[in-house]
Amino acid sequence: MKKIMAAASFDKQKYFIDPEFSSLPQSIKDEVQTICVYLAEKLMCTFTVGFHTESGDVYFETVRSEEILDFDDIGAELEIKALQKEKAELIKALKMWYLIYKTDKGEEIKAELLKKHSNEGKNV
């Protein structure tokens, strides 16, 4: 199952972020908004960012507008691949945030990270 976090529409000139994600740091929300708006404009589509609810993996999707006849599917795929490379750290941080705050295993993951962090501190 998928959960849309944010989307921007080229046709409607609108941006949306699901209120469920309002607790994300503002800098991350701003970066996601910039990505969505930029790619919606560049690709002339609706661009969405979301999560696969089971794994926490981040996904990017383009939704073609019926009015845009020359939508470039291949170009859109290439843009998404470039985005995944360029924003790998952001994607990793979003996935970790999602797993910790939005899944049943969040408390386990948080405890594991704290344990790992405290062990690293002892070795310094």
pLDDT in tens, 54-72: 899 999 999 987 777 777 8
Helix H or strand E encompassing 59: strand 58-64
What six digits make up the tokens of 5? Answer: 């976090």
Q: Which pLDDT score is estimated for 124?
A: 42
Q: Which pLDDT score is estimated for 92?
A: 96
pTM of the prediction? 0.85
Question: Which of 86, 94, 84 is closest to 24 using CA atoms?
Answer: 94
The neighbouring-strand residues paired with 32 are: none
Q: What is the mean pLDDT of each run of 10 residues along the chain (124 residues)?
A: 96 95 95 96 94 95 82 91 97 94 84 81 54
Q: Which pLDDT score is estimated for 31?
A: 97
Q: Which pLDDT score is estimated for 104?
A: 85
Q: Which pLDDT score is estimated for 120?
A: 73
- Taking the C-alpha atoms of residue 58 and residue 80, their distance in angstroms, rounded to an integer, is 12
